Amino acid sequence: MRIAIVDDLAAERALLKDRLEQQLHRRNVQADILEYESGETFLEAARKAPFTAAFLDIYMDGMTGMEAARTLRKTDTDCLLVFTTTSTDHALEGFQVRALHYLVKPFTEADIDALTDELLARIPQPDKYMELKVEGSEIHLRYQDIVYAEHFAHLIYVHTTVQKTLATRQPFKTFIAPLKDDTRFFVCGRGVIVNLEHAKDLEGAAFRMADGSRVFVSQELLKPARQAFMEFLLQRGRMA
């Protein structure tokens, strides 16, 4: 997800970026938030790669936020537009460019909280991620990139879609806590969790994964595993 903040005042851009980052982090949603000091530089960037959402200050020197929005709409009908302003005098013009929201300055934490929910509800759900400490560095690992993970000798080995295994030191219970509410994941037994998104089939006592690996399920969990896999396939079919 790419978000643009367009404002000719650096302090205003920094404040909004900080508030958005806090709200997205609370929701485990990853986004690139880019700052632009003019409508012209924003439009130049938008021509190279589309934005999911853009926060446009209406009252800028040079090209106004409304003018930038009209220009953008000639080539991009999907970008969610939020006008940041000290006045709602331009509400009618905002309607003409299909603005999602007016964020009136000075905005509050509650304003950004509610707006973040509104934004996320309007776009395809961005994938969640977890923060892992691997070899002394903090990395963001998207849920969709996890194939399966296993706990062994005080380490959790996370097998990923890029054929790379990440090793992190933390309790297995802590690692799986955020994943247990996601229907893609199934705990196969003590110290093993699998992402059903990458499972091709449940053969005997093991999931056959897309990368050719096999993830074994403990005997007492075979029936729940079959049920969870079938429900996941049905749900994915409805969403396709």
**Sequence ranges of the domains in the chain:** 2-122, 129-238
Name the CATH topology of 2-122.
Rossmann fold (3.40.50)
Q: Which two tokens stand for residue 85?
A: 């302003």
Please give the residue that has the higher pLDDT: either 211 or 207.
Answer: 207
The share of the chain scoring above pLDDT 70, in percent, equals: 92
* Residue 46, Cβ density class (10 Å: 0-12 exposed, 13-18 middle, ≥19 buried): buried
**When comparing pLDDT for 121 and 13, which is higher?**
13
What residues pair up with 195 in beta bridges, in sequence order? 185
48-63: average pLDDT: 92
In this structure, the number of other CB atoms found within 10 A of the CB of residue 52 comes to 18
pTM recorded for the entire structure: 0.56
Given the candidates 2.40.50.1020, 3.30.2290.10, 3.30.930.10, 1.10.3720.10, the CATH classification of the domain at 129-238 is 2.40.50.1020
pLDDT for position 218: 96
What pLDDT shows up at residue 126? Answer: 63
- Mean pLDDT score, 10-31: 93
| Choice between 88 and 2, residue whose per-residue pLDDT is larger | 2
pLDDT score, position 192? 97
Helix (H) or strand (E) holding 104: strand 99-104
Q: What is the mean pLDDT of residues 205-211?
A: 93
In sequence order, what are the beta bridge partners of 239? none
